[in-house]
């Protein structure tokens, strides 16, 4: 069976669907014929996504709001797969970390994964057919980057949460994996590097520091690589892949 045929007719929830990786996954799932529940807090981005993928079902909610997120995900019912893509990558040097930034990173990157996955898993169990959950993590869960202490900590938490979820949900035929991504050129990254952006990064300095540590020789992971890897992990093409933190970083974490 091809991955396209595997997803045809399946119900998939994608968080962070409005931009970047979530948007690319939504497009591919729509093309495969899946019923996609595209969740994002941005009404405008969801509206433009709906225009591009008319059959998707948009869900507008801020994942920081625990109760409203539970209501929104509960209203969807049982899905076959959950792709926890939503995340924030705010940067602050360790000595300048603020309570506001700490809370936002942890609430979006970790707490929302717990909340969404908990509600979705309960629905999967009630439906009695199992499913798959894929959490988007980062190479920064394994390797420290300057100015990214809390982001790295949040993704390390996602990796261990993934293993714990796999252990507890496995008896219900629910597989859980995380993908440790290298850099992927998304609007968030572009904003960090472009003149006038909110980030502090210098692209040439970043390239000089990071590229020598990537055996594959590409500074950024191609979006199609991300889409294919995430969807394979989420698909029914594998029944024994669970509890894994899968590095998709061009080999950065082996150096």
Query: What is the reported pLDDT for 197?
Result: 47
Q: Is 151 a catalytic residue?
A: yes
Please write the tens of the pLDDT for every residue from 159-216: 999 999 999 999 999 999 999 999 998 877 677 666 544 455 577 888 888 999 999 9
- Give tens-digit pLDDT for 59-68: 999 999 999 9
155 is catalytic: yes
Q: Are 133 and 174 within 8 A, CB to CB?
A: yes
Instruction: Grade residue 237 by pLDDT with cuts at 50, 70 and 90.
Output: very high
- Evaluate whether 153 touches 50 at the Cβ level (below 8 Å): no
Q: Which among 65, 66, 64, 26 is positioned nearest to 46, based on CA atoms?
A: 26
The answer on pLDDT for 108 being more than 60 is: yes
The tokens describing 134, both together, are 């894929």
Residue that the structure tokens 């294919």 belong to: 228
Annotated catalytic residue within 32, 37, 151, 252: 151
pLDDT of residue 110: 98
pLDDT of residue 89: 87
Express each pLDDT in 222-234 by its tens digit: 999 999 999 999 9
Query: What are 187's two structure tokens?
Result: 């609007």
The model's pTM is: 0.94
Q: What is the pLDDT of residue 12?
A: 98
| Look-up of token digits 């991504």 | 181
Q: Which member of 10, 37, 155, 252 is catalytic?
A: 155
Place of tokens 């992927």: 184
Q: What is the pLDDT of residue 194?
A: 61
Domains of the chain: 3-254 (3.40.50.720)
CA distance readout (Å), 171 to 120, 165, 238:
16, 11, 16
Report the pLDDT averaged over residues 129-139: 97
State how far the alpha carbon of 231 is from the alpha carbons of 60, 124, 138, in Å.
23, 18, 17
């Amino acid at each position: 069976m091809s991955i396209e045929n595997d997803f045809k007719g399946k119900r998939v929830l994608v968080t962070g669907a409005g931009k970047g990786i979530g948007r690319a996954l939504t497009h591919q799932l729509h093309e495969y014929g899946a019923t996609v529940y595209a969740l994002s807090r941005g009404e405008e981005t969801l509206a433009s996504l709906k225009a591009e993928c008319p059959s998707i079902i948009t869900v507008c909610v801020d994942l920081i709001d625990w109760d409203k997120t539970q209501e929104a995900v509960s209203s969807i019912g049982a899905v076959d797969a959950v792709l926890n893509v939503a995340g924030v990558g705010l940067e602050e040097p360790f000595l300048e970390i603020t309570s506001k930034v700490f809370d936002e990173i942890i609430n979006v990157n970790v707490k929302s994964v717990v909340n969404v996955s908990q509600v979705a898993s309960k629905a999967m169990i009630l439906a009695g057919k199992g499913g798959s959950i894929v959490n988007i993590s980062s190479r920064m869960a394994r390797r420290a980057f300057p100015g990214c202490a809390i982001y790295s900590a949040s993704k390390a938490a996602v990796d261990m949460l993934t293993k714990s979820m796999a252990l507890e949900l496995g008896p219900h035929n629910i597989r859980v994996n995380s993908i440790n991504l290298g850099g992927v050129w998304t609007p968030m990254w572009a904003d960090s590097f472009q003149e006038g952006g909110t980030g502090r990064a210098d692209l040439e300095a970043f390239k000089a520091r990071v590229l020598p540590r990537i055996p594959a020789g590409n500074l950024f992971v191609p979006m199609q690589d991300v889409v294919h890897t995430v969807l394979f992990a989420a698909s029914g093409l594998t029944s024994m892949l669970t509890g894994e933190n899968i590095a998709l970083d061009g080999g950065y974490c082996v150096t």
